[in-house]
Amino acid sequence: MSQRSSTLVKIATAIGLLALLSGCVVGDGDDARHLQPLPAKLVSQMSTKGMSQADPIFIRIFKKESELEVWKRDRSGRFALLKTYPMCRWSGQLGPKTREGDRQAPEGIYTVTPDLMNPRSQFYLSFNLGYPNALERSQGFTGSALMVHGACTSAGCFAMTDDGVTEIFGLAREAFAGGQKSFQVQALPFRMTPENLAAHRNSPHIAFWRNLKEGFDHFEATRQPPKVAACERRYVFDAAGDNSRFVAGSQCPAYEIEPAIQTLISERRASDDRRYSALTSASAPSPVLAYADGGMHSSFRKMLKEMGPERLQSVVAGRVEISRPDAALLDPYGATGSSSEATGSIAIR
């Protein structure tokens, strides 16, 4: 057995054991599903982009657009976009999750380690985002088992097709086997553009979203996942020096952003601020935009209209038998409440 194969086996075994010990929900599916090799087409795309299967990954999630991006480090040492996956479903409104049972998909900066991977999820495959993180815990936020998973149905999580989550899980597995200790996930309300911030400027979450935009900007400017700390009620990105002096919920110490990064960020922020000012000064005050309960990628909305909920779920979750018909996409917009909530067939996170 090669050294790489041996490492993969150890990683897979550790993931499985840790998932069981951490109390993750275990399904009845094929125990080898988490070891499926990456599709040849995806491997070819990586090669074309100067990436290997073992290179580190970084993930961004955008609620409004219902998209999940996987980025990978290429031979230049910077991260480049590998693939964008449409999300079947996410639940709740734009805005952070704050309490158990609020049906909100979370927003924030999360760190995923091998022990948060669940190879035997009842939703085909999944990984836990690690909500609540340190900042959220310091604010008294509650909730558990907030996942990216398959089966195309959601009650507080980010739901993908089974094919999609298989690729994402495989990319994480290979990155861990290649030596990555953890990968960062930025779960965001929307693409953090001046246009979106201007459109949502009257939201009660706007201050929080501006803080999230700082992390978005750091990655956009440097193409490196930012170093993250937390203090008071906010994230701090790429602070010079040791992050151990930052304590979530406590007063922020004096700090500076890494000088090279600060230059790049300042240029980007000045440009965005000019665009934002132009957008907000040229129009009447914007109302707070209301959204239906949760979201679905436009491609799935079209399929839903053409095929109906039962046929859609059978197509997008083709390899796993869905024994929860009441948990299917019976109410994709959430306007009248989900029948799964009434029957208790899915835990409301």
Burial class (CB in 10 A: 0-12, 13-18, 19+), 70: buried
Q: Is the pTM of this model over 0.75?
A: yes
Concerning whether 218 is annotated as a catalytic residue, the answer is no
Residue 32 lies in a domain: yes
Average pLDDT over residues 151-173: 91
* 43 within domain boundaries: yes
Residue 186 lies in a domain: yes
Whether residue 182 is contained in a domain is answered as: yes
- Residue 116 neighbours by CB distance under 10 Å: 21
pLDDT digits (tens, 9 = 90+) for 130-159: 999 999 999 999 999 999 999 887 777 999
Q: Which domain holds residue 173?
A: 3-191
**185 lies in a domain?**
yes
Helix (H) or strand (E) holding 302, with range, is helix 298-307
Catalytic-labelled residue, pool 88, 157, 200, 231: 157
Residue 277 has pLDDT above 50, yes or no: yes
Q: Is 216 within the bounds of a domain?
A: no
Q: What is the pLDDT of residues 280-291, one digit of tens each?
A: 987 655 555 555
What's the one-letter identity of residue 114? P
Render 192-251 in DSSP notation, one character per residue: --HHHHHHTTTSTTHHHHHHHHHHHHHHHHHSSPPPEEEEBTEEEESBSS-GGG--BTSP
Query: Has residue 300 been placed in a domain?
Result: no
pLDDT 10s digits, 88-137: 989 899 999 999 999 899 999 999 999 999 999 989 999 999 999 999 99
CATH number of the domain encompassing residue 173: 2.40.440.10
Per annotation, catalytic residue among 149, 200, 218, 297 = 149
Do the domain assignments include residue 156? yes
Q: How many domains does the chain have?
A: 1
> Residue 157 catalytic?
yes
Q: Give residue 72's identity as a one-letter amino acid code.
A: K
Highest mean pLDDT among 27-31, 153-157, 197-201: 197-201
